[in-house]
Amino acid sequence: MSRVRHLRLHGRGGEGVKLAAHVVSRAAFLAGHTVQDSPLYGAERRGAPVVAFVRFGDGEIHERGYIVMPDAVVLMDVSLLAHPEAAVLDGLDHASVLLANSRHTADELKRHYGIPARVVSLDISSIALELLGHPLLSAPVAGFVTKALGIAPWETLAEAVRIELQAIGLARELIEQNLRATRRAFDESPLVAWGERAPSAAAAGAAPFVVPRLPARLSAPSMTVEATSALRHTEGWRVYRPEIERARCTRCFLCFALCPEGAIQLDGESYPVVDYEHCKGCLVCVSECPPKAIHEIREETA
């Protein structure tokens, strides 16, 4: 049975997880491997967790679907570590690798989150912001991953970037910019060896579970508790946070009125206060504030 390598990429919608997977997969394909790639997401939506899978090997790939035991996890947005339902660490063990887009060191991440795998990190977001002006992560992440894991040489990767970015209709100028960012990430990426994963032992003798019948009134997708979405925090969506300079604020109420999330409320003196747990960092308030009293501050990750 030929060896298959399993990559699982995590990020948020809008960060280019699917495109990153496509570039890595294309690079492996151009390098002569058999590949299979697929994304998993809900409705087209920015901010929600997105997963993509890349399998590559030298023979046929008799696998499909969710990668439960990844050889490597690529974490494009470390804020997902705070959301257990994103399951970014599932299936990792000491033989696997976590490649993180972060300005924190691998050691800091590993210790802080108790990550069982070997960790390497690179601040892709800063590379993208510097060379592309926006946090367009896909191509530089692919540069990081391809170099770190030795998936393909630079020329092959560069061709993969061109093919995949052309396929989504990017202009030549932007593709060249992306290639520069990819090269930077490629050059700065540390190297890490693939591990040898032991197949997991199936739980022997486990009886199949039979789902019990719940009372019919509880068996529908309905909610009788109000406003449960408040339990979900969207601070992880932000690249920049809005900070209100009270001294300049004229209490015109525009930011309060125009926040799509209703995340700006008025305090006892009618000054606007940001609810950072539910601010997504859209920065409409920054744009609309007439005296420019709201500043955009780069968010510290993880």
Partner 1 sequence: MMRELLTGNAAAAWGARLADVDYVPAYPITPQTEIIESLAQWIARGELAARMVTLDSEHSMLTAAGAAAATGARVFTATSSQGLVYGFEMLYTVAGWRVPLVLVNVSRALAAPITLEPDHNDVLAARDSGFLQLHAESCQEVLDSILMAYRLAEHADVLLPVLVNLDGFYLSFTREPVELPALEAVREFLPPYEPAHGRLSASHAMAQGVAVLGGSAYAFFKYQMQRAAEAALAVHEEIAAEFGARFGRRYGAVDGYQLDDAEWVIVMSNSFSTVGKAEVARLRERGEKVGLLRLRLIRPFPHAELARLLAGRRAVAVIDQNLSVGKGGILFAEVASALPTNAAPPLLSFIGGLGGRRFRSEEFDQILAALREAESSGGSREAHLLYSESEYRQLLDMLRIARGGTIEV
Partner 2 sequence: MQTRREIYKSIKDIPRAEYLAGGTGLCAGCGGLLALRLLHKALGPNVVFVNAAGCLTLLAVFPFTPFHSSWLYTAMASAPAGAQGIRDALDVLIAKGKLAKEEDLKVVVVTGDGAANGIGLQATLGAIFRGLDFYYFCYDNEAFGNTGFQMSPASPLGSRTATTPTGTTTRKENLFELWRAQRPAFVATVSAAYPLDLMDKVARAGRLHGSKLFVSLSSCPPGWGIEPAESVEIAKLAVDTGVWPLKEGHDGEVIHTVVPHRFRPVEEYLQRQARYRHLFEPTRQEDILRRLQADVDQYWAAVRPTPS
Indicate the residue among 169 and 224 with the shorter CB distance to partner 1. 224
166 within 8 A of 121, measured Cβ to Cβ:
no
Indicate the residue among 112 and 298 with the shorter CB distance to partner 2. 298
Residue 242 C-beta: closest distance to partner 2, Å: 10
Of partner 1, partner 2, none, which one sits near residue 215, judging by CB under 5 to 8 A according to partner kind? partner 1
Of partner 1, partner 2, none, which one sits near residue 292, judging by CB under 5 to 8 A according to partner kind? none
According to CB under 8 A, which one of 122, 237, 272, 301 is a site residue for partner 2? 237
Rounded CA gap, 267 and 265, in Å? 7
Of partner 1, partner 2, none, which one sits near residue 69, judging by CB under 5 to 8 A according to partner kind? none
Question: Residue 291 has what DSSP assignment?
Answer: T
According to CB under 8 A, which one of 3, 46, 248, 292 is a site residue for partner 2? 46
Residues 28-34: contacts with CB under 8 Å, at least 24 apart: 28/54, 28/56, 28/151, 28/152, 29/56, 29/160, 30/152, 30/156, 30/159, 30/160, 31/151, 31/152, 31/153, 31/156, 33/57, 33/58, 34/58, 34/59, 34/60, 34/61
List all residues 6 or more positions away from 138 whose beta carbon is below 8 Å from its beta carbon. Answer: 15, 16, 17, 19, 20, 23, 178
43 touches partner 2 by CB under 8 A: yes
Rounded CA gap, 100 and 9, in Å? 10
User: Residue 48 is encoded by which pair of tokens?
Assistant: 């929600």
Of partner 2, partner 1, none, which one sits near residue 268, judging by CB under 5 to 8 A according to partner kind? none
Indicate the residue among 100 and 259 with the shorter CB distance to partner 2. 259
Residue 259 C-beta: closest distance to partner 2, Å: 8
* 246-275 as b/e: b if 16+ CB within 10 A: eeebeeeebbbeebeeebbeeeeeeebebe
Question: Residue 54 has what DSSP assignment?
Answer: E
Of partner 2, partner 1, none, which one sits near residue 260, judging by CB under 5 to 8 A according to partner kind? partner 2
Number of residues that bind partner 2 (CB under 8 A): 47
Rounded CA gap, 136 and 211, in Å? 44
Residue 232 C-beta: closest distance to partner 2, Å: 4
Of partner 1, partner 2, none, which one sits near residue 247, judging by CB under 5 to 8 A according to partner kind? none
29 touches partner 2 by CB under 8 A: no
Question: Residue 216 has what DSSP assignment?
Answer: G
Rounded CA gap, 137 and 78, in Å? 13
Stretch that binds partner 2, among 25-33, 41-49, 54-62, 204-212 (CB under 8 A): 41-49
According to CB under 8 A, which one of 65, 133, 169, 215 is a site residue for partner 2? 169
Nearest to 24 by CA among 133, 195, 185: 185
Range 253-282, binding partner 2 (CB under 8 A)? 253-254, 256-263, 265-266, 275, 277-282
Indicate the residue among 15 and 71 with the shorter CB distance to partner 2. 15
Residues that bind partner 1 (CB under 8 A): 42, 211-217, 219-224, 226
- Which parts of this chain interact with partner 2 (CB under 8 A)? 14, 42-48, 169, 171, 221, 223, 226-234, 237, 252-254, 256-263, 265-266, 275, 277-284, 286-288
